[in-house]
Amino acid sequence: MTGLPLLSIAIWLPIVGGLLVLATGGDRNAGLARLVALIAAVAGFLVTIPLYVGFDATTSDMQFTELLPWIPRFNIQYQLGVDGISVLFILLNSFITPLVVLAGWKVIEEKAAQYMAAFLIMSGLMNGIFSALDAVLFYVFFEASLIPMYIIIGVWGGPNRVYAAFKFFLYTLLGSLLMLVALIYLFFQSGFSFNLLEWHQLKIPLTAQIYLFLAFLMAFAVKVPMWPVHTWLPDAHVEAPTGGSVVLAAIMLKLGAYGFLRFSLPIAPDASRELAWLMIALSLTAVVYIGFVALVQADMKKLIAYSSISHMGFVTLGFFIFNSLGIEGALVQMISHGFISGAMFLCVGVLYDRMHSRQIADYGGVVNTMPKFAALFMFFAMANAGLPATSGFVGEFMVILGAVQFNFWVGFAAATTLILGAAYTLWMYKRVVFGAVANHHVAELADIDARELVILGILALCVLGMGLYPYPFTEVMHASVENLLKHVAVPKF
């Protein structure tokens, strides 16, 4: 591949942009900081477009690869590349960042420069996670991305932000530290290499595979998050500022799921098949049980957080039924969930900015004062419930089809989400938006302004577009998913 090192640019441009934003100084220059941040974020998105345009969907090989020696002492390389599985997440991540910057435009008045910088740096780090082909490089990005999020939750979060920030950090660190030991173990097993593609070809005895699988599971299950290690997410979501919640839900949760596809399945395929029952059981628990939990939430953000866990249960379910419908459906679900959950959190953010409350009980009859908002919110709520013609439907439907192919009852249990999802989302929507105006605060609400309309409008278009015509997404991933499935089917010990 000739030309520009696009992936490096996608990683380092936002990070350098973030440092520039920091350099604008204190709150006196907040306007300049916002402007620089927006330019950096948009530029960061624009440079990822050639990744999609120039992507060759007919091959499962890594593309746009870059290779430089980084730390020869441990044979660690600065090795980047994307395949059909990862390329879309780089786009999604870079796409969400400008929206997050815009969403925090007016709301964040204190330390605006640091806020914007944290998001930009995090965006770059997460692009690094999705494009790293060296295990240590991956790990380094994976852990480093905790730092900006910790700061974001802790500095700009709600009343209980300190607790949430610590819980978020320590929970996720616990998982990834065990993965570090697994990575080092693989380094010696593979004859001193951290090359992920080489690891995929490595023959490992089943017992070792199971240990490795469990170590990876610790890291990725916390990040997804899977039941029962999900408890950090509602706390983090509730306390995080809107932008933080959006990035958490839209991108950070995807890191765990992506890890399963990049590490667990290809490196420990036999253990993956051995333990698929466990993964399916955990996923279904998340889908059904967490769906019920979401039903009883009184806090909107918490409700969406639980809904995220439930939807991510779908993703892990899709991975471990080992057919292409399942995995592709799960990937579509991940991207669609990125749009929808991001939009849902932005909608709650719109309300929170005006009322400073996230309690469902404080609202009622919002449609009377905010009709434009109510319409958009309605659309995203429907998408969250999996209404056909929205992106939410495509992924869920594919996974359910795949699950039925695998086992009817698994498919059946998964399908209950269509009812549960509709129940908790629409019931919340009804209580917040419909009915008589609940109190004078609601009566004084102003409808969304142009900025908010643009943000939500763009996301609505994405959700609708992907729902009506998902082919551009599935086309890109198809070859890589088929290759992964072929790879997993072959015993490796």
Partner 1 sequence: MNFVMPDLYPASAEIFLLLMTCAVLLVDLFAGKGRHWLVYLLTQLTLAGCFGITFFTLDGQAVTTFSNMFVDDLFADFLKLVLYPAVAVMLVYSREYLAARNLDKGEFYLLVLFATLGMMVMISASHFLTIYLGLELLALSLYALVAIDRDSARATEAAMKYFVLGAMASGLLLYGISMVYGATGSLDIVEVGQRIATGGGNKTVLVFGLVFVVAGLAFKLGVVPFHMWIPDVYHGAPTAVTLFIGSAPKLAAFAIAMRVLVTGLAELAEHWQVMLTILAALSIALGNLAAIAQTNLKRMLAYSAISHMGFMLLGILSGIVGGDPRFALNAYSSAMFYAITYVLMSLGSFGMILLLSRASFEAENIEDFKGLNKRSPWFAAMMMILMFSMAGMPFFVGFFAKFAVLQSVVAAKMVWLAVFAVLFSLVGAFYYLRVVKVMYFDAPTDTAPIEAPRDMRYLLSINGLAVALLGLLPQGVLEYSIYASYAFLAGH
Query: 277 burial class (0-12, 13-18, 19+ CB within 10 angstroms)?
Result: exposed
214 lies in the binding site for partner 1 (CB under 8 A): no
Minimum distance, C-beta of residue 316 to partner 1, in the bound complex (Å): 24
d(CA 210, CA 139): 20
Minimum distance, C-beta of residue 279 to partner 1, in the bound complex (Å): 23
159 lies in the binding site for partner 1 (CB under 8 A): no
Q: How far is CA 152 from CA 18, 102, 456, in A?
A: 14, 16, 22
Minimum distance, C-beta of residue 114 to partner 1, in the bound complex (Å): 7
Stretch that binds partner 1, among 94-102, 161-169, 414-422, 478-486 (CB under 8 A): 161-169
d(CA 250, CA 341): 6
Stretch that binds partner 1, among 165-173, 268-276, 339-347, 481-489 (CB under 8 A): 165-173
Q: Which is nearer to partner 1, 74 or 277 (CB)?
A: 74
Minimum distance, C-beta of residue 155 to partner 1, in the bound complex (Å): 5
Name which of residues 8 to 67 contact partner 1 (CB under 8 A): 26
73 lies in the binding site for partner 1 (CB under 8 A): yes
Q: Tell me which DSSP letter residue 461 carries.
A: H
3-state secondary structure of 415: helix
Q: How far is CA 72 from CA 78, 81, 179, 191, 267, in A?
A: 10, 19, 22, 14, 23
Minimum distance, C-beta of residue 244 to partner 1, in the bound complex (Å): 14
Instruction: Take residue 232 and report the two structure tokens written for it.
Output: 């950090």
d(CA 179, CA 256): 12
Q: How far is CA 20 from CA 40, 46, 117, 132, in A?
A: 9, 18, 8, 25
Distance from the Cα of residue 260 to its chain's centroid: 13
Q: Tell me which DSSP letter residue 334 carries.
A: H
The 167-206 contact track toward partner 1, x by CB under 8 A, reads --xx--xx--xx-xx--xx-xx------------------
Q: Which residue in the set 45, 95, 150, 213 belongs to the binding site for partner 1 (CB under 8 A)?
A: 150
Q: Which residue in the set 34, 161, 301, 302 belongs to the binding site for partner 1 (CB under 8 A)?
A: 161
Q: Which residue in the set 52, 70, 289, 292 belongs to the binding site for partner 1 (CB under 8 A)?
A: 70
- Count of residues in contact with partner 1, rule CB under 8 A: 36
Residues that bind partner 1 (CB under 8 A): 26, 70-74, 111, 114, 136, 139-141, 143-144, 146-147, 150-151, 154-155, 161-162, 165-166, 169-170, 173-174, 177-178, 180-181, 184-185, 187-188
